[in-house]
Chain A
Amino acid sequence: MRHVDGIHDVGGMHGFGHVQELTDAPPFAEPWEGKAFVIGALAARISGTNLHAFRHAIERVPPQEYLVGYWNRWTIGAQTLMEDSGIITDAEVRARAARLSGQDVPEPPRPEPHKPQMASGGAGNLRTLDTQPAFAVGDRVRVADHGAVGHTRLPGYVRGRTGTVAALQPCQVFPDTAAHFAGENPQHCYTVDFDSRELWGSDAEPFRLSLELFEPYLEPAR
């Protein structure tokens, strides 16, 4: 059985149709997209959270809004992060939007900030670990088949599948706990290779799929 936790976990999903055309379009098609980018880029700092919490906020955007487009889900994610920390409320945003559109609506009260408190091991997400990695290059590993409730960087399409450790990557902050302010909990991180037929069946196009998996996602293959 394939677990899918949210609309964001699209790897392997059918029904999206033709890929978009390759173009040399600039990063922001319209001025508001540039502003949206900056608000999202600063949202974690403003809300006293982190990159993982921002990704999780985007993952919580309702599917119908998520699919409207990238800068829409990015902006709603940024707003959610700031709502969660008591920086802003949705009512305030809607009232301000109405006022900017010329409607004379009252401004709701400001919330009381309540930023999460989580110790940080420094800038960025790379960390060092004293523990030895459980797996080595060449080891066969099976991916846990857990149905994650919160944030995870374990895509649904590799759950329960067996692959081979191809490389050890730098140890990193564990997104699954950091996104919920339950600690950086750094983990060993592995590049794992999968044969396309292990993922998609014997009729699949032949190719090799690689991705990074954190140690708690993995168990030795029997």
Chain B
Amino acid sequence: MTSAPEHLDPALRVEALASLLAERGLVDEATVETFIKTYEQSVGPMNGAKVVAKAWTDPDYRARLLADGTAAIAELGFKGPQGEHIVVLENTPAVHHVVVCTLCSCYPWPVLGLPPSWYKDPAYRARVVREPRRVLSEFGLDLGDEVEIRVHDSSSEVRYMVLPERPAGTEGATQEELAALVTRDAMVGVAKVASP
């Protein structure tokens, strides 16, 4: 076995790659800027939050969302890479779903954007399939013993999004107000949505 090549600073490696690929006409600066802007500004958890808020206020939509997540999410205009087949899991007082990808970091981009650091970290990927209650507790979510935990490992092209429980004290809230309460972490299943 040969020894691994010398470590190259990742920022410098990226700079070198970008420069070589630009020279070859394979990646141009405008494309890079457009991609970055898209995932910084238009594709992120604010999309999923709109889906959740609509499901909380529109029972027909909620039913469609749970029956065919991909189609119901596309009704709001959200689709694209890493969203070919999205399944929505409903959290209730009795059942708590939490999502992971142990083999890489698969994540439902159209509704949640790119995954956060903790989701990609080996500690989360290794442990949540083995001791989810303890992991959730480390994140600050303590679930009662009566709550059934269901862990979903994203091992195919199926992507999962959690529909969190609607918090108390939001009875008269508009969809827009509700969407502002919904967090990325709640849609992965490592947190609950807090009351306003």
Chain A residues within CB distance 8 Å of chain B: 8-14, 16-30, 32, 34-39, 41-42, 46, 55, 58, 62, 64-65, 67-72, 75-76, 78-79, 87-88, 90, 92-94, 96-97, 100-101, 124-126, 153-155, 157, 169-170, 172, 189, 191, 199-200, 204-214
Among B13, B21, B135, B191, chain A packs the most CB atoms within 10 A around the CB of B13
Q: Which of B132-181 contact A (CB under 8 A)?
A: 132-135, 138-140, 148-158
* 8 pairs of A and B residues whose beta carbons are closest in the complex: A11-B102, A212-B156, A20-B118, A16-B123, A32-B11, A211-B153, A96-B16, A34-B36
Is there an interface contact between B151 and A207, defined as CB atoms closer than 8 Å?
A: yes
**Given known contacts A35-B32, A210-B150, A212-B156, A93 and B126 CB-to-CB distance under 8 angstroms:** no
Instruction: Across the interface, name the chain A residue whose C-beta is closest to B37.
Output: A34
Show 28 A/B contacts (Cβ-Cβ < 8 Å), sorted by A: A11-B130, A12-B126, A16-B121, A18-B123, A19-B124, A22-B190, A23-B116, A23-B118, A27-B39, A34-B35, A39-B18, A41-B81, A55-B103, A75-B13, A93-B8, A93-B16, A96-B16, A97-B12, A100-B12, A100-B16, A153-B155, A157-B102, A170-B85, A191-B158, A205-B132, A208-B150, A213-B155, A214-B156
Is there an interface contact between A93 and B13, defined as CB atoms closer than 8 Å?
A: yes
Q: Which of B7-38 contact A (CB under 8 A)?
A: 7-21, 24, 26-27, 31-32, 35-36
- Could you tell me the distance in whole angstroms from the C-beta of B105 to the nearest C-beta in chain A? 7
**B contact residues around A213 at 8 Å (CB):** 155-156
**A contact residues around B17 at 8 Å (CB):** 39, 75, 78-79, 88, 93
Is there an interface contact between A39 and B14, defined as CB atoms closer than 8 Å?
A: yes
Is there an interface contact between B121 and A20, defined as CB atoms closer than 8 Å?
A: yes
Cα A79 to Cα B12 in complex, Å, equals 13
B113 within 8 Å of A (CB atoms): yes
B44 within 8 Å of A (CB atoms): yes
Cα A9 to Cα B102 in complex, Å, equals 7
Q: Which of B9, B84, B125, B190 contacts A124 (CB 8 A)?
A: B84
Cα A20 to Cα B104 in complex, Å, equals 17
Is there an interface contact between A39 and B126, defined as CB atoms closer than 8 Å?
A: no
Instruction: Across the interface, name the chain A residue whose C-beta is closest to B188.
Output: A22
**B contact residues around A126 at 8 Å (CB):** 84-85, 157
**B contact residues around A153 at 8 Å (CB):** 103, 155-156
Among B13, B14, B154, chain A packs the most CB atoms within 10 A around the CB of B14
- Could you tell me the distance in whole angstroms from the C-beta of B187 to the nearest C-beta in chain A? 12
**B contact residues around A8 at 8 Å (CB):** 103-104
Is there an interface contact between B132 and A10, defined as CB atoms closer than 8 Å?
A: no
**A contact residues around B185 at 8 Å (CB):** 22
Is there an interface contact between A19 and B118, defined as CB atoms closer than 8 Å?
A: yes
**B contact residues around A93 at 8 Å (CB):** 8, 13, 16-17, 20
Cα A25 to Cα B44 in complex, Å, equals 12
Is there an interface contact between B157 and A209, defined as CB atoms closer than 8 Å?
A: no
Is there an interface contact between A46 and B191, defined as CB atoms closer than 8 Å?
A: no
- Could you tell me the distance in whole angstroms from the C-beta of B37 to the nearest C-beta in chain A? 9
**Given known contacts A42-B27, A71-B10, A172 and B114 CB-to-CB distance under 8 angstroms:** no
Is there an interface contact between A10 and B13, defined as CB atoms closer than 8 Å?
A: no
- Could you tell me the distance in whole angstroms from the C-beta of A207 to the nearest C-beta in chain B? 4
**B contact residues around A87 at 8 Å (CB):** 24, 26
**A contact residues around B120 at 8 Å (CB):** 70
Cα A65 to Cα B10 in complex, Å, equals 10
B122 within 8 Å of A (CB atoms): yes
